[in-house]
């Protein structure tokens, strides 16, 4: 099911079809990706997709979606908008891209589309958290116009760079 389209991307729900599960296994099985996420998922890819579906069912504004280039090919990765753990109504935006899709601006484009939708549906601010040293993701936060808040352990049990973006004034 399609969520959003941009000029180059289509965002849709991940599914439990074999092609999606294989791409997720390839993405989240790569050290160059998971070192920035605190390690690989501790559940199967099918369970991961099912968790993401529940996040969306609890609040239709939230989810973890596949980033499909409109010109075809495999999903570039995942863009997410979900509640922060231990947060009080706080929501995070994030992106996990396959190395074969790095450097094309997909993370910024997908995150911008998700943020615009979230703000249009009433969210007033969104956070991003990035592991120190993850320069490509820090650059995405800057391109999105996010305000740096410094390092924190507020939501996760590790020190992360936090960013915030407020909804545009009407």
| pLDDT, mean over the chain | 95
Delineate the domains of the chain, giving CATH numbers in brackets: 2-166 (3.40.630.30)
Q: Which long-range contacts (CB under 8 A, 24 or more apart) does 50-56 make?
A: 50/16, 52/13, 52/14, 52/80, 53/13, 55/82, 55/83, 56/13
Q: Is the pTM of this model over 0.85?
A: yes
Is pLDDT above 60 for 1?
Answer: no
Structure tokens at 143: 């391109």
pLDDT at 3: 77
Provide the pLDDT for residue 106.
Answer: 98
Q: How far apart are CA 45 and CA 163, in angstroms?
A: 28
Q: In the structure, how many helices (H) and strands (E) does the chain have?
A: 5, 8
Mean pLDDT of 80-99: 94
For residue 87, what pLDDT is reported? 76
Quickly tell me which residue has 């996760």 as its tokens: 156
Counting residues of the chain whose pLDDT is more than 90, the rounded percentage is 91
Q: Does the pLDDT value for residue 101 go beyond 60?
A: yes
What's the token pair of residue 106? Answer: 């997909």
Please answer whether residues 76 and 68 qualify as being in contact, where contact means their C-beta atoms are separated by less than 8 angstroms.
yes
Residue 42 has pLDDT above 70, yes or no: yes
Q: What is the arithmetic mean of pLDDT over 78-102? A: 94
**Which helix (H) or strand (E) covers residue 64, if one does?**
strand 63-69
Question: In the structure encoding, which two tokens stand for residue 11, read together?
Answer: 């965002």
**Per-residue pLDDT band at 123 (split at 50, 70, 90):** very high
Say if residues 77 and 67 touch (Cβ distance below 8 Å): yes
């Amino acid at each position: 099911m399609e969520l959003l389209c941009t000029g180059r991307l289509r965002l849709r729900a991940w599914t439990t079809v074999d092609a999606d599960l294989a791409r997720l296994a390839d993405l989240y099985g790569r050290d160059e990706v998971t070192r920035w996420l605190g390690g690989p998922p501790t559940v199967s890819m099918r369970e991961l997709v099912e968790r993401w579906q529940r996040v969306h069912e609890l609040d239709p504004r939230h989810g973890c979606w596949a980033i499909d280039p409109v010109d075809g090919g495999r999903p570039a990765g995942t863009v997410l908008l979900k509640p922060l753990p231990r947060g009080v109504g706080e929501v995070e935006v994030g992106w996990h891209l396959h190395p074969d899709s790095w450097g094309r601006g997909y993370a910024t484009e997908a995150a911008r589309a998700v943020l615009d939708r979230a703000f249009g549906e009433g969210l007033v601010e969104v956070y991003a958290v990035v592991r120190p040293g993850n320069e490509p993701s820090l650059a995405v936060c800057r391109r999105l116009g996010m305000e740096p808040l410094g390092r924190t352990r507020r939501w996760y049990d590790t020190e992360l760079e936090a960013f915030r973006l407020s909804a545009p004034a009407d």
